[in-house]
Chain A
Amino acid sequence: MSSPSPFIEVARLGFSYRQESQKPVLAGIDLAAGDDRYLLIAGASGSGKSTLCRTFNGLIPHFYGGRFTGRVLVGGLDTRTLSVGRLFDRVGMVSQNPEAQLFNRTVGREIAFGLESLGLARVEIRQRILEAAAAAGIEDLLERAPHQLSGGEQYLTAVAAILALRPRVLILDEPFANLAPLATARLRRVLADIDEGNRTRIVVCEHRLGLTAPDADRMIVVCDGRIVADGNPAAVLSGDVRSWALDPPLAAAASVRLGLRPAVLDVGKVPLGGDAGRRLDDLLPNPPATGGGDVLLGVDHVSAHYGRRPVLKDVSFELRRGEIVALVGANGAGKTTLVRHLNGLMRPGKGRVAVCGRDTRRASTSSLARLVALVFQNPDSQFFKLTVADEIRVAPRALGIEAEDWMALLARRLGLTGLMERAPFRLSGGEKKRVAVASALATRPEVLVLDEPTAGQDLLFRQALGDLLLDLADEGRAVLMVTHDLAFAERYAARWLVLGGGTIAADGAPEQIMADAALMQRCGLLPTDAFRLKRRLEAADHA
């Protein structure tokens, strides 16, 4: 007896976004998908994961030009012969940027849009809106405008809009890239609840394997447009996944180090007998103590309001030469508002900000650019030159401090040497981020401020960025990074500033902060895997 056909069947699939491209994005993919409860697709930036997912719901080949070879069958039907409009209630997809997917006035209307497309009656639409909102935990947001929501709430709204269609397959592209720890936990719970007694199957593309591999039943790894691994996540992560530029969950890395096969995916379950502490020592982050120089940035009793709503309340801290500091906190804690005060984009309603002794209230942002550089989360807001080389030279030229040797050094350090003549807006997300960092550093600022530098970035970028930050600190510059990625912050920043409810709730070493469970809960943070493992090792030592 033959086994039933898989819901999504991919055979010899090849795809290039340009007809003339010599290197295809997908190069001969064979895959049976859509029947696993939770399929995780992993791969480095530019490996072809998102492209593969776009072939499942017909966006490729119908929405993108390019060269398509092979075939994709959904429910036995060839996607080349079905329009996207006929596939959308079978395979629903939420892309990485929820803002671009939310185009209605209220969350309720957003969920209703797809149901209206299906031609459902009003009563049915109403019922499905309520069901989907309950499944995503956003019942209280139905009358809110989507663009006024936090990143996490926007993503949940986009998920609810697809869930309401009751698709057979729900695809999520980089769902955790921009979410704060509590929002991440909430989305994981939502996905786990979908699994309970629901026929919808989940496909997730994600770099952050620690948040996905423990929940997945199956994992495939895409590298250079090909599937290079396929199996149970514990089995796949028992191999050398770093060679595919994947960052394994700490528990998996510890398992490999301890010779456990298959790997354990929960740090709480890694067996820690014998000399485990010694063998795992170098897996645990140990950020170098930095700083101690003179004060480069002083924030003195700063308060700020949006209308009548207080956003920052009496915030004070100093940033010293050679320091790397992480600014952490939940969505809406006031991190971005605080950062906008550091280079004069916002002037404090009360208090004072001084950069290298210059009061930001008496200097324009453009004149402070030589002292403090800010790298925004979305680099697309700044690119306007035709080549990367010209883009990096913009700020030094504007300030009259161009230095070719420094440009060449920056390009080498950030791996941009081969990209200097490319158009910046045609680069991948990771490459754009590197260009943005290079153009911020081109003026040799004393203080570098980075907003979510690792969102959606792979292992190679994270390592390169981390090394660069350490070099900058060695040179005597100060770095402040705003991040939800506590694992990255823990590895490179010896000091954390925790912002909660508009005030500095804590200022200290990561371990000291994570040890305060009440503080972490109050500020919407969760301890890292490394912290949990370290605690277990300490307990095992005492025992």
Chain B
Amino acid sequence: MLDPRSRLALACGAAGAVAASGTPWALIGEYLVLLILIGSWRRGRSYLRWLRLVVPMALFFGALSWWAAGALAQGGAAALKLLGLTTVFFLFFEATTPEDLGNSLVAAGLPFSAAFVFSAALQFVPVIGRKARCVIEAQRCRGIALEPAWAALRHWPAFLAPLLIQAFTLADELAEAMEARGFSRPGRTFYRDYRMQPKDWLAVAAGAGLWLAAIWWL
């Protein structure tokens, strides 16, 4: 397995390549490669779930670009670019836990508190997602018509107020729990060892190569 830092470098290189690609055909080609990777890692089901969130964003972004530039091809390329960029990071986070990424960055010199805030924030996205579902269900049980789920926007106080209060409470409880296990105590060690191996440096080089190649040819 690659070190989380080299995976990050590889992902940044791939994202840079997608961002630097100018033609729709190049973007389609890159997206197909990403789909093949998702298929070979058997992540198709979770990718489809995740696409439900990303596709509307990509369509909106594409439509906006089409309207601004007045060219359909440019709108399509913008939508594909957003889809490709987010797919790169979908793959990265499927392969790397936020905790591993944060701890390996600490090993590279990032302050622990900054790395922890980053990884904890990423980990709490699904927790807040679960809380949001609980709020919607609790309000539906009381007769507030939150069906379909987007109707939550119409009844936003019933949806947002409990969610925000719970998010703040959770943040307080988390801070208390972390402090009660020595979060701010100096002299922390790490259970896992993060060391860059030759294969990791090769991956970093490959990431840089991808980016440069895209700038040069695409």
Contact = CB atoms under 8 A, between A and B. Distances in A.
Nearest to A442: B142
B180 A57 contact: yes
B119 to A, nearest CB: 9
Interface string A330-374: 000000000010010100000000000000000011110110011
Interface residues of B, number: 49
Interface of chain B, main secondary structure: helix
B189 A104 contact: no
Nearest to B185: A85
B145 A366 contact: yes
Given A59-B179, A366-B140, A147 B165 contact: no
Contacts of B99: 104-105, 109
Task: Count chain A CB atoms within 10 A of each CB in B161, B174, B176 and give the residue with the most.
Answer: B176
Interface in B88-131: 97-99, 120, 123, 126-127, 131
Interface string A89-112: 100110101001101110001001
Interface stretch (A392-400, A501-509, A526-534): A392-400
Contacts of B97: 105
Contacts of A17: none
B143 A114 contact: no
B181 A117 contact: yes
A157 interface: no
Interface residues of A, number: 63
B185 A86 contact: yes
Contacts of A343: 141
A122 B191 contact: yes
Given A380-B166, A398-B145, A103 B180 contact: no
Given A59-B179, A100-B170, A383 B141 contact: no
A370 B140 CA distance: 11
Given A105-B99, A378-B134, A345 B143 contact: no
A113 interface: yes
Interface in B129-159: 131, 134-135, 137-147, 157-158
B191 A112 contact: yes
Contacts of A125: 189, 191
Contacts of A369: 140-143
B187 interface: yes
Nearest to B163: A381
Interface in A283-306: none
Nearest to A346: B137
A355 B62 CA distance: 47
A305 B139 CA distance: 24
Contacts of B123: 103, 105
Given A93-B180, A381-B162, A345 B189 contact: no
19 contacts: A59-B179, A84-B184, A88-B181, A92-B180, A100-B177, A103-B174, A103-B177, A103-B178, A118-B185, A161-B181, A364-B140, A364-B147, A369-B141, A376-B141, A378-B134, A380-B162, A384-B158, A395-B144, A443-B142
Interface of B: 97-99, 120, 123, 126-127, 131, 134-135, 137-147, 157-158, 160-162, 165-166, 169-170, 173-185, 187-191, 193
Which 9 residue pairs of A and B lie closest in terms of their CB atoms, listed nearest first? A117-B182, A384-B161, A100-B173, A369-B143, A85-B185, A101-B177, A114-B181, A119-B187, A382-B138
